[in-house]
Amino acid sequence: MNNQPMTGGDGRYYLLKVAHEQFGRAPGELSSEQLQQASRIVGRQLRIEEAVLRSREASGVVIPPEQVEDAWMQIAGRYEDAEAMQQALADQGLDPVGLRAMLARELKVEAVLERVCASLPEISDTDVSLYYFSHIEQFVRPETRKARHILVTINEDFPENTRSAARTRIETIAQRLQERPERFAEQAMKHSECPTSLQGGLLGEVRAGTLYPELDECLFDLEPGETSDVLESPMGYHLLLCEQVTLATQVALEDVLPRLRDRLQIRQRKARQREWLERLLQQTASVENLAHV
């Protein structure tokens, strides 16, 4: 693989990739604003890639053909079949041979960035502990409420769901539950117009800020076993049942240690790569400026 300046094909490949990753569509389906945004991302990516491949650290890095084939298969998996992929490539002026060459180039960039991090020390238990106790507030499991609800929607197109009729229906259900609160799940299965009716209105373990504000505020004021008054949201009328309260708890260090170590290791690697890239791009810019003097 050589380090010649990139061709238009590289730009078309990255545009195809960015369009799918950022917007979930083909380049030809992007709006003019999305296309401009994608083009800016592509331009920066190409400049970075060129600088990386010309760096001293890129010397001797070789990508095995099987690694390129794995990357090819990952891309192929995004399409319904081989024909759809061929058409997408053709639409961008790409072909399988050219795409594999670009994948190899991209993999080489990733390998160089990995080489830059080779001398980094492993994150120790002490490092993890220091981070944990310095950011203890990040490791709190928030309070949750196990909740059920009953929904009667408002739709003026249907006589049984006009605002007045829906209000009458939900109040009738509320009256039944005042007498027999243990029937909440049964009433949800019979009368709720939410898909959760199949599970007796079960919303599961709910964190604050998950539901509509009108419902959220009420739910987190309820005591375990308590049913709300009739509430209204943009969906319609509701009744809420708080079945159980799980208070906020501090997550122990030993419970987060493996995942936190991985997170800190990734952050350390990204920081090293970012610093190296910034220096590399500054050096590249300085050389280009001297060339124009």
* Residue of 89 and 112 predicted with greater confidence: 112
CATH of region 8-116? 1.10.4030
* pTM for the full predicted model: 0.65
Query: Which residue do the tokens 């650290």 mark?
Result: 57
CATH 1.10.4030 boundaries in the chain: 8-116
What DSSP string runs through 45-85?
Answer: HHHHHHHHHTSGGGTT----HHHHHHHHHHHHTTSSSHHHH
Q: What integer pLDDT is reported at residue 3 of this predicted model?
A: 37
Domain(s) of CATH 3.10.50.40: residues in the chain: 143-247
Residue pair 49/6 in contact (Cβ under 8 Å)? The answer is yes
Instruction: List the CATH code of the domain at 143-247.
Output: 3.10.50.40
Q: What is the pLDDT of residues 174-187, one digit of tens each?
A: 999 999 999 999 99
Digit-coded pLDDT (tens) for 240-254: 999 999 999 999 999
pLDDT digits (tens, 9 = 90+) for 117-152: 999 999 999 999 999 999 999 999 999 999 999 999
Confidence of residue 16 (pLDDT cuts 50, 70, 90): confident
Question: Per this entry, what is the length of the chain?
Answer: 293
